Homo-oligomer: A and B are copies of this chain.
């Protein structure tokens, strides 16, 4: 604490409140509050980073193969043979996207999500499209992952099937609380199970591949019921593209690391890039193996038992401890996938809010230094989706992944544009652009080609998505995204106009208030009104008390009492033959206000009862409240409640 008298003579006093807020149920739930100064330590290394950011991508192996089979099933089980070639095509796409993003991570060490890349290189409109698409998809990631996690559980314990919606909602709320506690702890808490998942999956897949090589793999014993349609469709190109679209959900989450670079330990870009490549390699291997084995064992898509469950009990010889371990690991990785969104959604929304396209409150970091409001919003919307779609993965899938591929496209296109700009800079010129610096570099042509190719591939996939899944639910996202963009720009306009309105540029010395009229509406003459009168007189000598009277006898009484207690203050009695209370007062204020001088202020001092018990408010007419609401939009009028605490 200290006072400093500075050159212009303004006294400035600085004080710090260092005592943390008191303990209550919130500190019990999310931990003791952290000081702002604690922030920089909350970063993570590669191993924990893989656990936190890769789980989204890895977990999609739990449903991607199944969702390919769901579509192929329309052409009969014979069409299942297409599953492996489709998976192969998806892995190629994965490689393209990974290489593209590797370049992005190094170009944007401060965090190079699709939003930032699009904003810096393509402009505001594409950036907001990317933001809308990504935010939508983060919500869907939570809904899909939790639903799939619960589906794994109910495969092992069918008696839980009726409670799947409640289970999924409970899981979302649990992950929310973990995230409200802060990223470090959630990373640590989740590192062990991620590696447990990898171990169990490689065990299952490895054992499966070995048994397949030895020729003793066999088929799924007593597979779940599977309805074969009597009129089997042909495996048309449209059907194959549809199956491909469903399978590309395997790629969701690949972008997570590029958004999360600032969470990594230094050297951030290197650590993040290495983690990305590891992640993609593991993802590709698992996805291909699972798709291959699923077809080999004759697994069928079913809401009652997941393909992963069918695979595990076929390969691992029944529902033993190893089977249960695999199911547990898969469930847990899916929960962590949701957790990734809990890291990214609040970060992106804070970024967008900071640019003025979302409410600024989203930039506020809560007591644990996380964007609590973003975390809360994400949990709420995801729970609504889970309830609306009854925790069915197959029902949610048509909405999913369009957003991701749209943002992939924008991000790669932005990067391509960036390389082009870099290539056309004069050597040794450095251009500062929104925090990142551009400098001519050799080899920009190849890099531009890589990102350009990535953009083209993902653009095609986005189109395939929109077309093949349109009728099933993709239309919702195709309507929602532009709607969100319109809302974002509406918010932005508001903040811009506000900033202009408040700006002190071209603002002269503020005129002083020369005249101050005070109007004091009174309902009677009692201690409360006299307290308000006393206050009103301390503001100005020009005080007028106003009483609206609905009967003459009462007006006489008020006048008599005022003569005794009013201290000589002017009283205006407004007779209201139609028994209206607020309107005559407003008319009177309007009249006074019309005669107002430019530097005159009118203050309405309203005596207000403050009963000790809340219900007692119902026993009083809330005149102050109505007056406030009616006069709020009138310039030059200030309303003051003088509270009078009473019974």
Contact = CB atoms under 8 A, between A and B. Distances in A.
Interface of A: 6-18, 20-21, 33-37, 359-361, 364-367, 491, 493-495, 497-498, 501-504, 507, 510-513, 516, 525-528, 530-531, 533-535, 537-539, 550-551, 555, 559, 561-580, 583-584, 587-588, 601, 603, 609-613, 616, 618-621, 632-633, 635, 637-643, 645-647
Contacts of A34: 578
A610 B638 contact: no
Contacts of A513: 534-535, 537-538
Contacts of A6: 563
Given A495-B619, A643-B638, A579 B366 contact: yes
Contacts of A611: 494, 498
Contact of A579 (B10, B364, B516): B364
A182 B573 CA distance: 28
Contact of A643 (B14, B531, B538, B632): B632
18 contacts: A10-B562, A10-B566, A10-B570, A13-B570, A17-B574, A17-B587, A20-B578, A35-B577, A36-B577, A361-B619, A494-B611, A498-B611, A503-B527, A535-B638, A539-B539, A632-B643, A635-B645, A640-B640
A529 to B, nearest CB: 8
Copies of this chain present: 2
A476 to B, nearest CB: 23
B33 A498 contact: no
A619 B497 CA distance: 13
A216 to B, nearest CB: 62
A478 B516 CA distance: 60
A550 B646 contact: no
A570 B10 CA distance: 6
Contact of A501 (B11, B530, B588, B646): B646
Contacts of A10: 562-563, 566, 568-571
Contact of A577 (B18, B504, B550, B583): B18
A618 B362 CA distance: 11
Contacts of A37: 577
Nearest to A366: B579
A18 B578 CA distance: 8
A616 B364 contact: no
- Listed from nearest, the 7 A-B pairs whose CB atoms lie closest are A502-B526, A497-B647, A513-B538, A16-B575, A35-B577, A640-B640, A13-B572
A398 B31 CA distance: 56
A504 B516 contact: no
Nearest to A638: B642
A640 to B, nearest CB: 4
Nearest to A36: B577
A127 B603 CA distance: 46
A564 B642 CA distance: 33
